[in-house]
Structure 1
Amino acid sequence: MPIRPSTAARASTGALRAVDIDGETASIEPFDEVSEPPVTHPGHRTPALSGVEAVTGASGGERRAEEDRADIDAKIDGGRAAYDDASADAEDRANEPLSPDDPLAPLPFNPYKGNRGLTRAWHAMKNSLAGFRVAIREESAFRQELTLAAILIPCGVLVPVEPVSRVLLLGSVLLVLIVELLNSSVEAAIDRISLERHELSRRAKDLGSAAVMVALGMCLMTWVLIVGPLAVRWVKAML
């Protein structure tokens, strides 16, 4: 029958135990003192805790449960506070006014845009007439084109052509005036910003001049194609 390990004398730092290998004691190793649970036999009753131990254990469990609940409540309150802060920040950003450089920012208040109905039409007509006076007084190119229009518009009205051709003749002349007015407005806006020589300013003015040239070419082409054959017949009839 195997030999049970013998227990050595306990030291202050631990105890010694005998290790039984193949029925013989191989060595003695130190080990820490470990309290083993008592062995219960059938019919053995676990001794009841005393009143002080029961109260102490119950109060300790309740204290730990209260601490756990307090930690959970603190985490919930922290999450609610963070959510409220995030909602307040989002609301502040939504209510924050847009900067002037933002394309969605509202335009500054213009007192001249508050008119409605006939009042607005009256002010628009006065502003348009003022624009014509300024163009005639300040823009020599517009004066030259206006003189050309004063000659071509009566000719377009009197020339014996179909209504569609008449509209093309008159529209091509008016298109030249429209493009010239737009070109003059672009030049005035650029001069309002700065009078210094700049590549972008030069490019904008050149593009406006190119638009005027295209309108003039279209007008010339329309008159040559529509009035040219009539003029040739008139010349042949006179000869």
Structure 2
Amino acid sequence: MLRINISVGDDGRVTSAVVFDLEDVKSLRELGVCGVLCGSLPTLAQQNVFLSVPLRLMTEEAVWLIERGLAQATVTRPGTLLEKLGDKHLAERVARESKLELENSLIRQTQYKREQHQLKLKKLGIDEIRRETDERLLESSLFLETANDSRVLRDEQDELIVERMIERYSREPHYLTYAKLKDQGYVVSPGARFGGKYIVYPGDPLRFHSHMVVSEPMDYQDDVIEFRDIMNGSRLSTAVKKIWVLSGIDSQDQAHLFSVEWAGFG
């Protein structure tokens, strides 16, 4: 079961949804859920093109995965983290475990690097001489590993919050539109850079260009569609070699999609 760490505000809305485990990130990619990697090295902020975990998901992606039984949620509410960190026993246990893991990692690295150094000297026919400078160089080459998972966030799923969250979003127009596209096998990503709510790929974005730009969902019965909006949306989408898709939600909470393509005149 995939694990998603979600934060829920006082109003029940999801404020963030992130995945820390690399294996879960790989599995999400196979399900057509790409997200955005947002982790970086805090002391090397200029290297922000080399982003790593956690993977940030759209709210729609997280809710769809949980509702379809593909993922399990770990819920963090405002203040929860501070309360946990304020737990003296938990803080002491986490500190002990972290210190022990760090010490074992440094011991393993030191042993490995000494063995490699001895092999190099042996190949060169040089007898090993322990020098203070060599020890300092070895210590400076050791690294600290940042875990991909969080100990503090390892908690049991809050089923009541998750049920309320799914109930809230099950009638949300954005989610209904996303779910309809996703259930048809498309890969869906944010579409603001193309003037829409979503952009839609027929498969993995690393293999395919996006095919459709999906508009903000409207009320299927009551909202008026201006001809100017149809013209602007279809011309813009056609200019970037995509199809513009109108989305609307009816009174039965069903999403409807209509594709529009600019054909030109003459």
Q: What TM-score do the two structures reach when normalised by structure 2?
A: 0.20
More helix by share: 1
More strand by share: 2
Q: What TM-score do the two structures reach when normalised by structure 1?
A: 0.22
